Every structure is written in structure tokens, then in C-alpha cells.
Chain A
Amino acid sequence: MDELELLKKDWQKKEEHHPKLSYNEIYSMIKKKSSSTVKWIFYISIIEFVFWAVLNLISYSKESLELEKTWHIYEITTTLTIINYVVLIYFIYKFYSNYKLISLTESSKKLMKTILNVKRTVSQYVLFNIGIFVAYLLVSLYGNLNYGASSNKIREAASQSGNETLFWVMLFGMVLIAIAIVLILIWFFYKLLYGILLNRLRKNYTELKKLEV
């Protein structure tokens, strides 16, 4: 292609016409902080880990422990908590080791893949937490309905409503809809948060990957 050859000649000819930065200007640059995507992913991930850990801590007071015992769900929730922490350690380890793998000296494709892996680990962690959260919610609901303070009232209301099955279906339906709305909101938030950071990277990665098919 003639034009491209022409461009190449011109490109190499005007080497000297780029701006020249001084030693001091470059020196001051290495003292500044990066604003790269990876750095933001790192900070947001830390916030996510801490957020869910804090949520677990504050939702677990002495009163809730007593309540769980009277609702006969203590064993199940304790198991959930143990699973939760084992998996948390696993995810932190995975996040850390993936993060360590990020190296700019790798090929572009490998680098992009590693970055996406780091992000995927965090997403999986959040998904897992949401799962645990929903499970905990359902178990509490079960405990509350069967052994809770207002369980008799609810049962009475159910038998007085005429159609008992319909009453329960509607009750659970409402709970499920509420959970679904919360999940959609969280999902939307994530799309927004990581979309801004990773759109470009994901697009470029797909472009390189498409080539290999």
C-alpha cells in the first residue's frame, strides 16, 4: 500500500519533532500517583471485601444469636457463617495471587486476561455473598414464621383469609420480589461501576480473542 509506505517514511522522518521533556520533568513524574484502571479495580475490590465483612459483623449481634436459638435455626446459620469465612479467606488469597500476576511486561492479551481475572474473582466473591445473604434471609423467614413472636398472628391471618394456599403463595411471592429487586439494583450498580472502568479493556480483549478463533 503506497500511502502506508509514505506514512512510514514520514513517521520515521519526524522523530525529532516530538516534545522534549527535561530530566527534572520526568523525575517529578515518577513521584506522582498512577490513575490506572488496575489501581481503581484494586481500591474498589478492597472496599467490597471490607463492606461484606462489616455487613457480616454488624448483622451478628448477641440478640440475633438469642433469636436464632429461639427460632431453631442456630445450627444452620452457624454453618452458613463458617462457610462464609472459609470462602472469604479463599477469595482473598485468590484475589491477592491474581493481582500479583498483573505484569505490564506480558503480552497485551495476557495482561488483559489477568486484569479481567482479578475482577472476576471479586465478582464471584460478591455473588457468593449475595447467595449467603439470601439463604440467611430465607432461613430467618422460615424460623420467624414457625417460632417467631408473630408467627401465630400470621397463621391466624392465613386461615381467616379464606384461601390459605393463595395467602402463602402471595406472602412468599412478595418476599421473592423484594429479593429480586435488591439483586437487580446490585447488579445494575456493578454494571455501572465496572462498566466505566473496564469497557475499553474488555472491548480490546474481545478483539484480540476473536482473532484466534
Chain B
Amino acid sequence: MVFCWQHVTILQLNLLIDNLLPTQGVNKELEHKFVTEIENNQNIVHKVCSLYTTNRDAHNDLFQEITIQLWKAYPKFRGDSKFSTWMYRVALNTAITLYRKSKKSIKTQDFDSVIYRIKTEEYDATEEKQLQLMYKAVRQLGDIEKALVFLYLEDKDYSEISETLGISEVNARVKMNRVKNKLRTILNP
């Protein structure tokens, strides 16, 4: 019995150290390098947040969670892929699997992070309206569907999409076509 207790305690300690003190013993240099990289590539995270949240609080919440997850995964980043590619994956994975929507993010719709419209030089009212409808339609998609649309909008090819989500390339195409059809149905009911 005593033996087992020791076992539990050692395991607990190990896991707690892994979880709660990820920054222990990490030098300032690494922190600086990481924060600079994030600062330069923060658009990727903002874009993911804008797709998966509907107000400013939730946007900031998710941004923070993604940053924490990136930081936790950073020691394992070996640089065999581009920093931005690595960021896409961690950010999407956080949004799809780890993030818990808080209640306030469902209730209030005070801020639409995708549709904070820009005053473009050639302002086209019909195009503008169509775009708004498109963004609204994308919002209605499921988490995985959003991920597909996101990677598509980011101009990623199907091999990268399939690798990111963990499905075959053929299935990524099939799914993407289904999403397009779904968007069409939402737009023209």
C-alpha cells in the first residue's frame, strides 16, 4: 500500500512539473526569440481566432490559449518546418481540440472580428454585401469545416491540408467539395 502511494506521488509530481512549470529553467534568450517570432507572425493566430470566435473577449481568450500552447510546444520545435507552418498546426489544433468556448462568447455578439470592415478604395456595394453573406455563412460551418475553409483561404495545397487534419488527400478534396456545396446551400436556400 505504501509503495503505491509513493508511486502516485512521484507521478503526480512529474506531471505537475511538466504542466505547471514549463518555463522553469528556460533562459531569457529562448523567451525573447519565441515572443519575437509570435509578434511577427501573430496574424496567423488572429485569423484562426476570428474564424472560431464571435466577440472580442473570446478572440482574446483563444489568442492567449494558442500562445500558451505554442510556448509549451516550442521546445520541441526543431525548425525542420517553417515556424509559420508549425504555428498553423498548433493554432488550429488548439481551436479544434483544446479550446472550451466560454459562455460569454456564445451570448454576446458585440464584436464581429471577421467583419470589421475595411474602407477599400474601390468600394463596391454588391460585392461588399456578398462578402458579408459569405463570412456569415462560413461562421455557420462546423469546426472541421472551418479548418478546411481556413486552410483553403490561406492558399494551402491539399497535401498540407491532409497532413494538418490527418486525413488522406482524396478525403480532404471530398470534404472540401462538400463544404463548398454546403456554403452554396446556406447562401442560396
Cβ-defined contact, A208 with B165, below 8 A: yes
Whether, in the assembled complex, A184 has its beta carbon less than 8 Å from a beta carbon of chain B, the answer is no
Whether, in the assembled complex, A177 has its beta carbon less than 8 Å from a beta carbon of chain B, the answer is no
Whether, in the assembled complex, B17 has its beta carbon less than 8 Å from a beta carbon of chain A, the answer is no
CB neighbours of B98 from chain A (8 A): 36-38, 104
Q: Of A30, A49, A103, which contacts B76 at CB under 8 A?
A: A103
CB distance from A195 to the nearest CB of B (A): 12
Closest A-chain residue to B135, C-beta based?
A: A7
Indicate whether A105 sits within 8 Å of B89 (C-beta atoms), given known contacts A3-B183, A27-B31, A32-B68: yes
Cβ-defined contact, B15 with A99, below 8 A: yes
**In the docked arrangement, what's the CA distance between A147 and B101, Å?**
57
CB distance from B63 to the nearest CB of A (A): 8
CB distance from B76 to the nearest CB of A (A): 7
The range of chain B's interface size is 35 or more
Whether, in the assembled complex, A53 has its beta carbon less than 8 Å from a beta carbon of chain B, the answer is yes
Interface of A (DSSP majority class): helix
The range of chain A's interface size is 35 or more
Cβ-defined contact, A212 with B144, below 8 A: no
CB neighbours of A96 from chain B (8 A): 11, 14-15
Indicate whether A212 sits within 8 Å of B184 (C-beta atoms), given known contacts A20-B42, A34-B65: no
CB distance from A212 to the nearest CB of B (A): 6
